[in-house]
Amino acid sequence: MTFLKKNYGWIIVTILAILPMFILSNMFKIDTSNGFVLTLAENGGKEGMSTLEMLYHITGEFSIRWMTAVLTCTPFFILFGIHNLFVRQAMGIATAVWSLLHFVIFIWAEGFSETFTQFNYIAGFIAVLILIPLLFTSNRKWMKKLKRTWKKLQSLAYLAIILSLLHVAILEKTWIIYAVIVGIGFIIRIPSVKEKIMSRRKNKTQAA
């Protein structure tokens, strides 16, 4: 029970990150009659998409959603005073895993060389490269090892989200909502705005 009390937020994020994987698993067929053969299910896609296109779409959507969620953690703390570093780390891991899945499926569909043919692909590729070190250092062990450098390294997530938004915008996907959420988050982070919000929150708490 003690473990659940300390880590319930991390567990919830992990469950939410894993659940969509079951949707993806339905798009694959496993044949063990002649060894182990993994193939895509026929008619696994919807809305006129092939199964591979649907896989690409779903993984891309979840990677940008989780990335946006990570960047709302600090504004959420400023607004409500609630902060859990390990929940944020779990969100960061979910972001990196979904982004890597998205990139692997892109390579499967288009080939690695296609990565360098368009600016939006290059932007997405750089974002994935940034997320890889963030994935492997999103734990307590690396926090202790890197100390102040850890925060600087994690701040690269801002660059990753900007590149990801460029990637999605150029593809003419529904990126506006993510840009608005991230933009509001950056406004809340402005020192003068942040101080006013936190001061009002503190006064309300004292009055209560």
**115-150 pLDDT per residue, tens:** 999 888 999 999 999 988 888 887 778 878 877 788
In this structure, what are the phi and psi dihedrals at residue 53, rounded to the nearest 5 degrees? -65, -40
Q: pTM, whole model, 2 decimals?
A: 0.83
Three-state secondary structure call for residue 139: coil
- Kindly report the CA angle at 112 between 111 and 118, in degrees rounded to 5? 95
E strand or H helix at 39: strand 37-40
Nearest to 126 by CA among 86, 165, 169: 165
Residue 8: its pLDDT value, please?
Answer: 78
- In this structure, the number of other CB atoms found within 10 A of the CB of residue 181 comes to 15
- Lowest-confidence range among 2-16, 38-52, 173-187? 38-52
> Among all chains, which residue has been given the structure tokens 């998205």?
102
